[in-house]
Amino acid sequence: MSARAIVLAAGKGTRMKSARAKVLHELCGRPMLWWVLEALRAAGVDDIVVVTNPELDPQLAPFGVRTVIQREQLGTGHAVKIALDAIVPDDGCLVVAYGDMPLVDPAIFEDVQAAVDPGAGTALALVTAVMPLPSAFGRIVRTGPSTGSAAADTASGQAVERIVEAKDCTPAQLALDEMNAGIYAYDERALRAAIAQVGNDNAQGEYYLTDTVELLIAAGRRVAPVPVADYRSVLGVNDRVELASAGALLNRRLCETHMRAGVTITDPATTYLEPGLLLATDVTIRPNTVICGATRIGEGTSIGPNSRISDATIGARCDIRESVVTASEVANDVKIGPFAHLRGGSQLADGVRIGNFVELKNAHLAEGVKANHLTYLGDATVGARSNIGAGTITANFDGVRKNRTELGSDVKVGSNSVLVAPVSVGDGAVTGAGAVVNRDVPAGDKVAGVPARSIAKKPAET
Ligand code: UD1
Ligand code: MG
């Protein structure tokens, strides 16, 4: 049977000071909530209900989860109650987590599920973490004096007694450093009984989910703490400072995964990655580089410094420096940059060379084409080995529509040529410096001037 979970995401996230819902703020290119759902799914939990609010709800369609709307945010206990009312009762284990903890990893969800025992003694397993003080997390209050180590306390049977929210703590409780991470595995039947009794007599006037701890214990059930090794994996994000530090940790994790798989990253602190990238072995990423979207990069290719590659497929042994590549395909042994911009729809075959201040859009360049300096190739097809001189422009827009420029193979385009599309230049043709080519040039012809005319020697008349 597949495990079930409730994820709470209805809170206003007021500390973000944003028009955007907190759980939709992004870390490494993915919304905060995406990270939590990914970790749950990786831990085998695939039946997920997200508690949302009326503004957020329509924006959750892409997440592929069932949602339940909490109209008034009366607290985490109230949110769970609303979700429980909406799902068919079950007597198994139910995971509850918050949507604002993007650093959580699948092992934590696996451990907490393994520690609960529906129908038997342990009605709740909850993740705890020892954290530096001060902290706004809820405090874990145990029955006896703490040894200072959550793991040792658990081993020596110091039972969890209750959770006290930071705002309700006495000074002595505020000094406790074992925190409620906000990840729970409940015996669902016991949770349903306890949640009905949760009140709101506390500093925030909210229905706290955390009050179920005391209620379950009073009902004679056990509550098992599941201490986490590194508190950073359960850090909640409540404002933009925490958003940035969580983002940096996630980015570091992505970098480390790729480095362990054989990618050299010169400076992980200034390399920005997203999940789902396919980077082959011996890829090198130099500093200050962003690689995002559905990008794949082949063996031995170097990217950066100061580059952004998004939704691109790059082959093997390429070198891309100080450049931007978007939604394009680059084959093997291609050199790009510095300061080139490949916009959408460009395709570069093996051995192409794109140099300084060259912009491509929807340009298909065959094997060995060179465009080394100051050029715009838009909606163009260029045949093998052709050379595009400095300052060449394809004038692809006639004020109404975009038109294509077709160049054959072994064409030499002189510096400062303007190719006024739609126009074609045949194989082996040459344009002189400064030519404005507004009529098709036959294969092998030489043209020059404004507008360009043939200057090829005609065969002598007989
Ligand atoms: C909560 C815990 C605290 C724990 C901390 C860990 C409670 C009462 N407190 O505090 O013990 O240490 O998380 O990060 O549970 N939400 C709703 N509906 C509501 C209220 C909140 O869906 O009515 C959602 C929020 O969107 C958020 C999550 O529940 O994703 C947690 O709420 P938040 O206000 O961030 O709780 P904390 O104060 O962080
Ligand atoms: Mg929180």
pLDDT in the model for residue 142: 92
Antiparallel, parallel or unpaired: β 446-448 and 430-431: parallel
pLDDT of 28 over the 60 cut: yes
Atom number in ligand 1 closest to CA 180: 12
Write out pLDDT tens, residues 285-298: 999 999 999 999 99
> pLDDT class for 120, splitting at 50, 70, 90?
confident
> Could you give the CA distance from residue 199 to residue 77 in angstroms, rounded to a whole number?
9
CA 237 to ligand 2 centroid distance, Å? 6
**In whole angstroms, how far apart are CA 107 and each of 125, 260, 333, 345?**
14, 19, 41, 41
pLDDT in the model for residue 461: 59
> pLDDT class for 149, splitting at 50, 70, 90?
low
Q: Which sign, positive or negative, has the C-alpha torsion 87, 89, 94, 97?
A: positive
To the nearest 10 degrees (0 to 180), the angle between helices 106-115 and 32-42 is: 50
Q: What global pTM score does this model have?
A: 0.91
From 25, 78, 341, 373, the catalytic residue: 373
CA 113 to ligand 2 centroid distance, Å? 21
| 153 torsion bin: left (phi>0), alpha (psi -120 to 50), beta (else) | alpha
CA 76 to ligand 1 centroid distance, Å? 6
Q: Would you state the structure tokens that stand for residue 127, as one six-digit string?
A: 């993740």
Cis peptide before 338, with omega less than 30 degrees from 0?
yes
pLDDT of 151 over the 80 cut: no
> pLDDT class for 97, splitting at 50, 70, 90?
very high
CA 49 to ligand 2 centroid distance, Å? 18
Nearest-ligand number for the alpha carbon of 235: 1
| One-letter amino acid for residue 169 of the chain | C
The SS3 of residue 248 is helix
| One-letter amino acid for residue 120 of the chain | A
pLDDT in the model for residue 12: 83
Among 76, 126, 135, 238, say which to mutate for ligand 1: greatest number of ligand atoms within 8 Å of CB.
76
Instruction: State yes or no: is 364 an active-site residue.
Output: no
> Could you give the CA distance from residue 380 to residue 405 in angstroms, rounded to a whole number?
5
Please list every protein residue whose CB sits less than 6 Å from any atom of ligand 1.
8-11, 51, 70, 73-76, 78-79, 98-100, 137-138, 163, 165, 179-180, 182, 208-210, 236, 238
Nearest-ligand number for the alpha carbon of 205: 1
